Amino acid sequence: MPPKMPMKSKGMRGAPKQKAKKGTMKRLLGMLFKQNKGLLIVALICITLSAATSVMSSIFLTEVVTILQEGLALINPTAEQIAQGVIALSPAQSWQAIWPKLLTVFLCMGGVFGLSVFCSFLYHRLMAIITQKFLHQTRTNVFNKMQSLPVRFFDTNRTGDVMSVYTNDIDAMRQLVSQSIPSLCSSIISIITLLVLMVRFSLWLSLVIFAGVVVMFFVTKKVGGGSAKYFMRQQISIGNLEGYVQEIMHGQKVVKVFNHEPNTKAEFDSKNEELCSDATKAHGYANILGPIMNNLGNILFVTVAFIGGVLVALNVPNVTITGVQPLINEQGFASMVAAIMAFLPISKQFTGQINQSSQQLNSIVMGLAGASRVFDLMDEQPETDDGYVTLVRAKIDENGVITETTERTGKWAWKHPHKADGTITYTELKGDIQMFDVDFGYVPDKIVLHNVTLYANPGQKIAFVGATGAGKTTITNLINRFYDIADGKIRYDGININKIKKADLRRSLGIVLQDTNLFTGTVMENIRYGRLDATDEECIEAAKLAYAHDFITRLPDGYNTMLTADGANLSQGQRQLLSIARAAVKDAPVMILDEATSSIDTRTEALVQKGTDRLMEGRTVFVIAHRLSTVQNSNVIMVLDHGNIIERGSHDELVEKRGSYYQLYTGAFELE
C-alpha cells in the first residue's frame, strides 16, 4: 500500500459538493484505457499476479504444516505403528527425511514471492506514470476546452467554481485513479482467489465467512455511507465559511472603521461551530469504519476458529469442494485441524481485503463526484464560429489592387472567398463599422438593446454615455462577438461580421476592458501580450504613449518587474495605464476603450488621451466613459438609456440641444 501523499497544497479544498452522475465510472475507465492501453494492460496483469501470489502464502503454510506433521509423526510413531515395527526417528533424522520436501516448498515460495514483489513494483510504477499522464491530459483537456468556451459560460459560472474543477475535482480523481481503482482491482482479484481457496479447504467454514461478509457489507454501507454524507456536508460548510471569510476580509478595513469586529467574530464563530460539528461527524464515521471492520474481521476469525474447533470436537468430517475428507489424515492428525490452520489466515486475509475495499469508499464517492464535474465542463458547448472571411497581410499597389503577402506591410485585408463561384475578393481593413437595427439580450426574453443603429467611419471617435445597465458595454461586446446579436446586422468594412472568423475579427480590434486583467509575468511581457512579436522598443514606445513609461521606470526592476496576482503590486490607475499600453502595442485599426481611464486622475487622463489620440489618428475608436471629460472631444457621442440610443451628436451639438446629455453634463442627473 503506497502512502497517501497529503496533496493538500494551496487551493485544494477537499471534495466537490454534488454526487456523481451515472456512467461516470464507465467514462472515466474508458478514458483511462484509451490513453494508456498498453501500460494499463501490463499494470492490470501485474495487479492480478501480485494479488494472486500474495494469497499463496496461505497455501504454503498448509504445505509446510503438512510436512511438519509428517516429520513429527516420524519422531512420535503411534502405538499401532510401533507394533508394526516402525522405529521412532530422532529429530535430526526426521529433519533429514523431510528437508528435501521443505526445501522444495521454500524454493517455490521464494519464486512466487519474488514474482509478486516484482509485479507489485512494476504496477506501482506504472500506475504512477499512468496517473500523472492521465491527470496532465485531463487538466490540459479541461483547459483547452475552457479556452474554447463562449464568454457566456463565464458569466454564468463563478471563477471559484471553475477553479475548483482544477483543484478539488482533479485532485479527487487523482486519488481515485492512483489508489482506489488499483486497490479495488487488487482486492477483487484477491477476494476471488481467496474464495476459491476457502471452498477448497472447507465448505463449512466458508459458509461462516460468507455470513460474516454479508454483515460487513451492511456495516460498510451504513457507516461508509454516513461518512460520505457528512463529508459532502462538511464541504458545504467549508464553502459557507470560506465565502463569509472572503467577504469580510475583502471589506476588512470597513470592519475596522466601524468597530464591527465583535459582530464579525460572533458570526464567524457560529459558522465555524457548524463546520466543526459536520467535520466531527464526517471524521467520526470515517475513523470508526477501520476499527469496526477490523474487529468484525477478528470476530469472524474467532468464529471460524470456534466453529472449526466445535467441528473437530464433534468429529464432523471436513467437506471440501473435492469431497468429504477422512477424519484423520495420512499423517495421523485431524484433517479438520489442518483445514482450520490453513483456513484461518485465509479468512484473515479475506476480511482484510474487504476492509481495505471499504476504506476506499469515501475516495471513490468523492472521486466520482469530481470526475462527474470535470466531465460536465468537458461537455460544455464550445463557442461556435462559422466565419470564413479571414484577415491577411496585404500589399496595395497604386491602382488600389490588393494582393496577399507574407511581408509586414502594415496593411491588412479581409480575404473573402465566395463559395458560389470559387473566387476570392480582398477588402482593405479600414475599421469601418456599421450597425443596423441591432437587438440583443443576454437572455432571450430580456432584450437589453433595441434598434441600435450607428455608423463609425475610420478616423472617428464614437463615445457612449449612459447609466449602468444602459447597454454601453453590451454594444462593444457585440462588435467583438463575445455575444451574437438577436436581430439586425453589424458590418465591418462592409462585411457581415458573422462571416468573419472570430479570431481574425478580434485580432483587428484593440480592446481595453473595464476590468484590467494582467497576467503573472514581467511588465514587458504584459505589454507584449498585445502583440507577441513586438520588440522591446515597440513595447516601451507603447508604454510612453499610454503614459505608463514614467511609473514603470520607477518600479524596482523597471520593465522587468514581476507582476503577481493580477498586478496586485500596482495601483488600479497604473494597471489601467498598462492595459492601455497593451492595447496600443497591438496597433489595431479599431480600438475600444471601455472605462479605460476611470481610475486615472483627470490630469493624467488628459495626457493619456493625447497619446491615444495620436495613435488612433485615422482609425476608429469607441470610448465608453463615466466622466464626461473623457468623451468631450469625440466626434459623435451616443447617449444610451435602457438599451436605446436616445441622443446622438457632437458635444457641442448635444449641449446646444439641451437634452439628456446637457442635463448629465450640468450634473442635473446622475450617471451610474
Rule CB under 8 A: which of 374-403 touch other proteins?
none
C-alpha cell at 197: 481457496
Q: Which residues inside 47-86 make contact with other proteins, applying CB under 8 A?
A: 50, 54, 57, 60-61, 64-65, 67-69, 71-72, 75-76
213 binds other proteins (CB under 8 A): no
Among 313, 401, 424, 443, binds other proteins (CB under 8 A): 313
Residue 460 or residue 526: which is nearer to other proteins going by CB?
526
Residue 357 backbone dihedrals phi, psi, to 5 degrees: -70, -35
Can you say how many angstroms the Cα of residue 593 is from the centroid of all Cα atoms in its chain?
Answer: 34
580 binds other proteins (CB under 8 A): no
151 binds other proteins (CB under 8 A): yes
Distance from C-alpha of 459 to C-alpha of 138, rounded to nearest angstrom? 47
44 binds other proteins (CB under 8 A): no
Question: x/- contact string, 159-198, with other proteins (CB under 8 A)?
Answer: x--xx--xx----------x--------------------
Among 228, 475, 600, 645, binds other proteins (CB under 8 A): 600
Among 120, 175, 190, 634, binds other proteins (CB under 8 A): 120
Among 18, 240, 263, 553, binds other proteins (CB under 8 A): 263
Task: Report which DSSP code applies to 398.
Answer: T
Contact range with other proteins by CB under 8 A, out of 277-285, 318-326, 411-419, 484-492: 277-285
Distance from C-alpha of 588 to C-alpha of 612, rounded to nearest angstrom? 12
**Shortest reach from residue 403's CB to other proteins, in Å:** 24
Can you say how many angstroms the Cα of residue 13 is from the centroid of all Cα atoms in its chain?
Answer: 12
Q: Single out the residue of 510, 503, 504, 509 nearest to residue 527, CA to CA.
A: 510
281 binds other proteins (CB under 8 A): yes
241 binds other proteins (CB under 8 A): yes
Helix or strand or coil: residue 392? strand
242 binds other proteins (CB under 8 A): yes
CA distances from 470 to 449, 473, 662 (A): 8, 9, 17
Distance from C-alpha of 341 to C-alpha of 346, rounded to nearest angstrom? 9
Contact range with other proteins by CB under 8 A, out of 119-127, 458-466, 534-542, 633-641: 119-127
95 binds other proteins (CB under 8 A): yes
Among 29, 86, 129, 215, binds other proteins (CB under 8 A): 129
Among 261, 404, 437, 613, binds other proteins (CB under 8 A): 261
Contact range with other proteins by CB under 8 A, out of 241-249, 318-326, 409-417, 641-649: 241-249
Distance from C-alpha of 27 to C-alpha of 372, rounded to nearest angstrom? 9
Amino acid at 378: M
Among 229, 646, 655, 659, binds other proteins (CB under 8 A): 655
511 binds other proteins (CB under 8 A): yes
**Shortest reach from residue 560's CB to other proteins, in Å:** 19
**Shortest reach from residue 485's CB to other proteins, in Å:** 17
Helix or strand or coil: residue 596? coil
Among 447, 626, 635, 653, binds other proteins (CB under 8 A): 626
Q: Which residues inside 338-357 make contact with other proteins, applying CB under 8 A?
A: 340-341, 344-345, 348
Contact range with other proteins by CB under 8 A, out of 31-39, 133-141, 410-418, 448-456: 133-141
Size of the site for other proteins (CB under 8 A): 186
**Beta bridge partner(s), residue 461:** 621
657 binds other proteins (CB under 8 A): no
229 binds other proteins (CB under 8 A): no
207 binds other proteins (CB under 8 A): no
Phi-psi region of 333 (alpha: psi -120 to 50; beta: other; left: phi over 0): beta
What residues have CB less than 8 Å from 231, skipping those under 6 apart?
A: 14, 15, 282, 286, 362, 365, 366
Among 44, 118, 356, 558, binds other proteins (CB under 8 A): 118
Instruction: State the DSSP string of 439-451.
Output: EE-SBTTB--EEE
Q: Work out whether the CA dihedral 124, 126, 131, 132 comes out positive or negative.
A: positive
Indicate the burial class of 254 (C-beta count within 10 angstroms; 0-12, 13-18, 19 or more): exposed
Amino acid at 565: A
User: Nearest 5°: CA angle at 43, between 42 and 48?
Assistant: 100
312 binds other proteins (CB under 8 A): yes
Among 42, 334, 378, 396, binds other proteins (CB under 8 A): 334
How close are the terminal C-alpha atoms of the chain, in Å? 62
Q: Which residues inside 606-625 make contact with other proteins, applying CB under 8 A?
A: 606
**Shortest reach from residue 402's CB to other proteins, in Å:** 23
Contact range with other proteins by CB under 8 A, out of 369-377, 457-465, 540-548, 565-573: 565-573
Distance from C-alpha of 584 to C-alpha of 616, rounded to nearest angstrom? 9
Query: Can you tell me which residue has the cell 472515466?
Result: 28
Amino acid at 121: F
Among 400, 532, 614, 617, binds other proteins (CB under 8 A): 532
Query: Can you tell me which residue has the cell 485431524?
Result: 334
332 binds other proteins (CB under 8 A): yes
* Cβ(104)–Cβ(92) below 8 Å: no
Q: What is the 3-state secondary structure (H, E, C) of 363-384?
A: HHHHHHHHHHHHHHHHCCCCCC
45 binds other proteins (CB under 8 A): no
558 binds other proteins (CB under 8 A): no
Residue 20 or residue 505: which is nearer to other proteins going by CB?
505
Among 305, 316, 378, 555, binds other proteins (CB under 8 A): 305
**Beta bridge partner(s), residue 490:** 435
Distance from C-alpha of 209 to C-alpha of 202, rounded to nearest angstrom? 11
Contact range with other proteins by CB under 8 A, out of 26-34, 94-102, 188-196, 398-406: 94-102
Instruction: State the DSSP string of 150-197.
Output: -HHHHHHS-HHHHHHIIIIIHHHHHHIIIIIHHHHHHHHHHHHHHHHH
Q: Which residues inside 488-507 make contact with other proteins, applying CB under 8 A?
A: 503, 506-507
18 binds other proteins (CB under 8 A): no
Contact range with other proteins by CB under 8 A, out of 15-23, 134-142, 607-615, 642-650: 134-142
Q: Which residues inside 404-423 make contact with other proteins, applying CB under 8 A?
A: none
**Shortest reach from residue 22's CB to other proteins, in Å:** 29
Residue 37 or residue 250: which is nearer to other proteins going by CB?
250
337 binds other proteins (CB under 8 A): yes
517 binds other proteins (CB under 8 A): yes
Instruction: State the DSSP string of 525-593.
Output: HHHHTT-TT--HHHHHHHHHHTT-HHHHHHSTTGGGPEE-TTTTTS-HHHHHHHHHHHHHHH--SEEEE
**Shortest reach from residue 421's CB to other proteins, in Å:** 30
